[in-house]
Homo-oligomer: A and B are copies of this chain.
Amino acid sequence: MLSATQTVPASGNYNPALIATIQSQVTSPPRLLDSLVDAATIIEFDRDDEIIFQGEDAEYCFEVISGCIRTVRLLEDGRRQVGEFLFAGDVLGCETAQQHEFGAEAVTACVLRRYRITAIEQRAASDIAFARRLLRHSAAQVRAARGRLVLLGRKTASERIASFLLEMQARLRPAARGTLDLPMARGDIADYLGLTIETVCRGLADLRHRGIVAVERTRIAIQDQRGLLQAGSDQLH
């Protein structure tokens, strides 16, 4: 199963452009786990490799150097919910719980930096600036998850899909002007949005017919930003 190849301990020479941080993290030039980088191990995974098993004891957490990860919760009968997608710069599994309640899988081939959770906890116990950075990160995670409650609880299929594209637009560095290259397949999007593959397709087709996006398999061109915003119903009351 775990076909991960473990490479040399972190050499520290990563490509900063790859890890350009996004959105909320823009304010914190020293990234979340930077100060622990020397204690980390670089690990690579192939597409669909299991990075964290659902229910596994929480021993490690990971920072994404490149590639895309999904977190996943499986119900007994096979129903699947994707918790989040992670991209370069994002951190995975550092909410200290006894067990990882979501699994994590590689959406694309990816490179991660692995940290011991105990190391993080020790650092948090002695370095207050570090603890506060963790706290900020954690608060951002809370807000992100709660935002998704609205999407899953109250939005229609097309709204969910429009919101999803807006989120990806904000988080993915657009390939070309207004063009997104989605790393994940329709099934992953469906399980992220609480829909089926077919409904995701139809939702995209709907946005296409309305002239809002052009869809070419995994490549999405956003042609009407205002229309997409409107279609997403993201504005609050």
Q: How many copies are assembled? A: 2
Q: Given A146-B83, A153-B152, are A132 and B124 also a contact pair (CB < 8 Å)?
A: yes
Q: Given A95-B139, A95-B142, are A236 and B54 also a contact pair (CB < 8 Å)?
A: yes
Give the shortest distance, in Å, between A74 (CB) and chain B (any CB): 4
Q: Determine whether the beta carbon of A154 is less than 8 Å from that of B81.
A: yes
Q: Determine whether the beta carbon of B74 is less than 8 Å from that of A237.
A: yes
Chain A 75-117 residues near chain B, CB threshold 8 A: 75-81, 83, 95-97, 101-102
Q: Given A54-B236, A143-B101, are A194 and B128 also a contact pair (CB < 8 Å)?
A: no
Give the shortest distance, in Å, between A233 (CB) and chain B (any CB): 6
**A96 vs B142: C-alpha distance when bound (angstroms):** 10
Report the contact-size class of chain A (Cβ under 8 Å from the partner).
Answer: 35 or more
**A96 vs B187: C-alpha distance when bound (angstroms):** 34
Chain B residues positioned under 8 Å from A83 (CB to CB): 146, 149
Give the shortest distance, in Å, between A115 (CB) and chain B (any CB): 16
**A77 vs B233: C-alpha distance when bound (angstroms):** 9
Q: Determine whether the beta carbon of B147 is less than 8 Å from that of A149.
A: no
A residues neighboring B (CB under 8 Å): 54-55, 73-81, 83, 95-97, 101-102, 124-126, 128, 131-132, 134-136, 138-139, 141-143, 145-150, 152-154, 191, 193-194, 233, 235-237
